[in-house]
């Protein structure tokens, strides 16, 4: 069935280091969405990418959609303690399929 | 605007019982989706309601059902509870301006209902 695979599952970084999570699919994605869920919280929508090769930035966050629309990445520059949480990618077609998420832990 | 609200926030039930969870969307949002979140399976889509009709459905057994009222509030029901139904149940609302499922508006999640089945 339709699946989006996310790697890594966990990531520990020192505060100030960069962080990247990847989302991959064996089939072409119609779009990709990214969400952040803080510990004990609920998912919060970050962004949606639709076009092949699209790149969007939100402050220290950079989102990319692959040329073949089969992968996407979220890159955080100079992580801060407020970046802690789980980052999910998801494809929305008639249903929404979430990846398993990457849990980011920041070491002070 | 007030955010998405869900009641109750916590619930403990025993196997075989049934449960009804409630979700009030953001004012003006007509689409409500439900998700199950567990450590093992992650976030899984249950169903989406729009204009009191179920528009999309995930791969869950018929024990999971829902409905939407004319004011867009939604309820989901799980009958004959199993231990594996223990999860965080999240609802999310969005403005949906057409019946085309690929027309997209950002969805906003509620805080969830934490269901524990003993």
Condensed to tens digits (0 to 9), the pLDDT of residues A23-71 reads: 999 889 989 999 999 999 999 999 999 999 999 999 999 999 999 999 9
Cβ–Cβ contact B107 with A under 8 A: yes
pLDDT at B104 (0 to 100): 65
| pLDDT the model gives residue A10 | 96
Q: What confidence tens digit (pLDDT) does each residue in B2-35 have?
A: 899 999 999 999 999 999 999 999 999 999 999 9
Are B43 and A44 a contacting pair at CB < 8 A?
no
Chain-chain contact of B104 with A95 (C-beta, under 8 angstroms)? no
Tell me how many residue pairs between chain A and chain B have CB atoms under 8 A apart: 45
Residue predicted with more confidence, A38 or A93: A38
Interface-testing mutation among B5, B35, B43, with chain A (most A C-beta atoms within 10 A): B43
Burial class, A17, CB count within 10 angstroms (exposed 0-12 / middle 13-18 / buried 19+): middle
Is the Cβ pair B90, A96 closer than 8 Å?
no
- A44, B104: Cβ pair inside 8 Å? no
Which residues are CB-contacts of B45 (< 8 A; sequence separation ≥ 6)?
A95, A96, A97, A98, B33, B34, B35, B56, B58
Cis peptide before B8 (omega within 30 of 0): yes
Residue A94's pLDDT is: 73
> Does A98 contact B109 at a Cβ distance shorter than 8 Å?
no
**Partners of B31 in the beta sheet?**
B50, B94
B25 close to A (CB below 8 A): no
What percentage of chain A carries pLDDT values higher than 70?
A: 98
Residue B45 distance to chain A (closest CA, Å): 6
Are the Cβ atoms of B42 and A42 closer than 8 angstroms? no
B70 and chain A in contact, CB less than 8 A:
no
Residue in the block written with tokens 């919060």: A44
**Rounded CA gap, A27 and A4, in Å?**
9
Structure tokens at A85: 């949480």
Which residues make Cβ contacts (< 8 Å) with residue B92, sequence separation at least 6? A43, B4, B32, B33, B34, B35, B107, B108, B109, B110
């Amino acid at each position: 069935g339709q699946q989006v695979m996310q790697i890594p599952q966990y990531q520990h970084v020192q505060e100030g280091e960069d962080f990247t999570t990847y989302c991959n699919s064996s089939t072409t994605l119609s779009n990709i969405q990214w969400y952040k869920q803080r510990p004990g919280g609920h998912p919060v929508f970050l962004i949606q990418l639709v076009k092949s090769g699209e790149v969007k930035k939100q402050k220290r966050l950079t989102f990319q959609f692959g040329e073949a629309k089969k992968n996407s990445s979220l890159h955080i520059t100079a992580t801060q303690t407020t970046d802690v949480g789980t980052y999910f990618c998801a494809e929305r077609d008639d249903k929404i399929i979430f990846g398993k998420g990457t849990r980011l832990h920041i070491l002070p | 605007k007030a955010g998405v609200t869900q009641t109750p926030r916590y619930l403990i039930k025993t196997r075989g019982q049934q449960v009804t969870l409630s979700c009030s969307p953001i004012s003006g949002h007509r689409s409500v989706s439900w998700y199950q979140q567990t450590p093992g399976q992650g976030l899984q889509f249950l169903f989406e309601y729009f204009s009191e009709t179920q528009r999309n459905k995930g791969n869950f057994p018929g024990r999971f059902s829902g409905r939407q009222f004319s004011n867009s509030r939604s309820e989901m029901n799980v009958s004959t509870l199993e231990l594996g139904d223990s999860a965080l149940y999240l609802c999310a609302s969005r403005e949906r301006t057409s019946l085309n499922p690929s027309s997209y508006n950002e969805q906003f999640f509620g805080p969830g209902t934490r269901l524990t089945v003993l």
